[in-house]
Structure 1
Amino acid sequence: MIWTTRPRSDGASSLAYWTQGGGPALVLIHGVGLRAEAWAAMMPALAAHFTVYALDMPGHGFSPRAGETDLGDYTARAGAFIDALQEPVCVVGHSMGAMIALALGAEKPQKISGIAAISAIYKRSPDAAQAVQARVKALQKVDAPDPTATLERWFGKAPQGDRKQAAETCRAWLSNADPAGYAAAYSVFAHYDGPCDHDLRNLTCPALFLTGGQDPNSTAEMSEEMATRCPQGRGVVLEDAAHMLPMTHPNAAVDAILSTFKTSAP
């Protein structure tokens, strides 16, 4: 897989996006420190069923920041983009993008026709919360943090083959990310503990909760618990995947998404 930069368009709320395909609308929202190309391995298969819009989050890729300080700010930017599409939309989010996707489902139940939350967070343990918040403080002390520890959490130690190539691509993205945009998003992600049970119980659209069995932070237990609380929730665990499964396990991720959104695909 070659993770080359794709051409962008400018969307509503000043969000840059990469689009491909035809059919019902599907919006992809990446995680902290990444960019629209994080979906490149999944894009062709999804684009065979949907018109896919891969967004750059605020402060990432080609999307400017606008003073975002909490999850609601990021959700509002994505929501404005979705409203401009003027049709029901399925949303797939990864990591912080999954948190945004679930928030959109709670705020726009008539607009969101399906959600896939990949590597999502739900009720971190005290130790996990302390660790992620300590990383926020470390980010504030340096302009260009070493991404090695992050990549080990995302891909495991000494990744091989395609996983190694994906890890090196993420190293380049993290090393060249806007420090302010990265730090702002990571702070929001670190201090957010996932959707509340009320919102999950009221999420009536098909909802996939997909995670990797080797992900130490967005655990399989978190995804399974969220799935049980949603009327149409479905939990899927890829046992040999870690945090970056959209890049390392794209085919399995696409299969899970398409089977969940089967009523939305042509």
Structure 2
Amino acid sequence: MTWTTQPRSEGAGDLAYFKAGKGPALVLIHGVGLRAEAWGAIIPLLSDYFTIYAVDMPGHGQSPLGDVSALSHYANRVLDMVDTVSGPIFIAGHSMGAVIALDVAHQRVDRIAGIAAINAIYRRSKTASAAVKARAAEIAAKGSLNPGATLDRWFGEDPQGPLHAASEACEKWLTGADPKGYATAYGLFASQDGPNDAVLTALPMPALFITADGDLNSTPKMSQAMARLAPKGRAISVPEAAHMLPMTHPEHLAKAILDTFEGTVI
């Protein structure tokens, strides 16, 4: 599977998705500018334990943007899909997808059995907030953003082997993204400061907050702070890694997810 484009199904909430595996449902939500294939490296590691629903976020991949003007509108689309899936559901999101996943978990505490927030933001510094807002403004003005600096942050300046393939895949997705969908999502994400403390303290399910020690925008301190607030929170920082954990460190991430959700319904 890896980064190969997968055939889609049309789900509730007008979300395109592809499905793999067996077991309780695990819904995966990617980050800004990407698509469901960004989970391609971790799906084989989890498909013996979960029926995986990898969705295209609104305005990304094959999901239409629709009428979205707030982050809650993205969460509502995912909620529509979640409500059509039977049994207990696990959910994981990366970057902006993590913020959406936390909102969904908060609104469906009776359905969500566990959550993983991967490279999530929480109370950005003034410098980080200014930088992401500047990138959002550039995307809004130009309709796109040269991905070179972003890819260097994510994969290094001279990635080799699997990292090179992952970087190439991301470059293709970022440069091929729907301009309006990309700009809308980036603008909304740039205005976010992470989940509300009240959301975190009200999560009754196992909650994994995992990031990388080299992620300057979703720092280990952010994950640790969120984990302290969640009643069953757990924070992990992956060494020698950056923002794209699902693509660069799928083994670390899969183990953390399975360890966190162990003893629930898997």
- TM value normalised by structure 1: 0.97
Secondary structure of 2:141 counterpart: coil
Aligned-residue offset at 1:265: 4.6
Secondary structure of 2:91 counterpart: strand
1:49 and 1:265 in contact (8 A); partners too:
no
In structure 1, the residue matched to 2:125 is: 125
Q: 1:166 to 1:110 in 2, by over 3 A?
A: same
Say which is worse superposed, 93-102 or 2-11, in terms of deviation.
Answer: 2-11
Q: 5+ unaligned residues in a row in structure 2: which ranges?
A: none
In structure 1, the residue matched to 2:33 is: 33
1:213 and 1:238 in contact (8 A); partners too:
yes
Q: Is the aligned partner of 1:63 residue 2:63?
A: yes
Q: Is the aligned partner of 1:259 residue 2:250?
A: no
Task: Describe how 1:1-266 pairs up with structure 2 within 5 A.
Answer: 2-266=2-266
Whole-angstrom CA distance in 1 between matches of 2:263 and 2:120: 23
Q: Deviations over 1:5-58 (max 9, x none)?
A: 011111101101010111111100000011010001111121100111000000
Whole-angstrom CA distance in 2 between matches of 1:157 and 1:198: 39
Matched AA of 1:220: P
Whole-angstrom CA distance in 2 between matches of 1:206 and 1:141: 41
Aligned-residue offset at 1:157: 2.5
Matched AA of 1:198: A
Q: Deviations over 1:98-142 (max 9, x none)?
A: 000111111111111100000000000111111110111111221
1:120 and 1:211 in contact (8 A); partners too:
yes
Secondary structure of 2:66 counterpart: coil
Q: 1:48 to 1:265 in 2, by over 3 A?
A: farther
Whole-angstrom CA distance in 2 between matches of 1:265 and 1:199: 23
Matched AA of 1:178: D
Aligned-residue offset at 1:186: 0.6
Q: Deviations over 1:227-256 (max 9, x none)?
A: 111110000110111000100100110000
Identity of aligned residues (%): 52
Aligned-residue offset at 1:159: 2.2
Secondary structure of 1:58 counterpart: coil
Matched AA of 2:26: L
Whole-angstrom CA distance in 2 between matches of 1:231 and 1:160: 40
Secondary structure of 1:252 counterpart: helix
User: What's the Cα RMSD here?
Assistant: 1.2
Aligned-residue offset at 1:149: 1.5
- TM value normalised by structure 2: 0.97
Whole-angstrom CA distance in 1 between matches of 2:89 and 2:152: 34
1:99 and 1:117 in contact (8 A); partners too:
yes
Q: 1:173 to 1:223 in 2, by over 3 A?
A: same
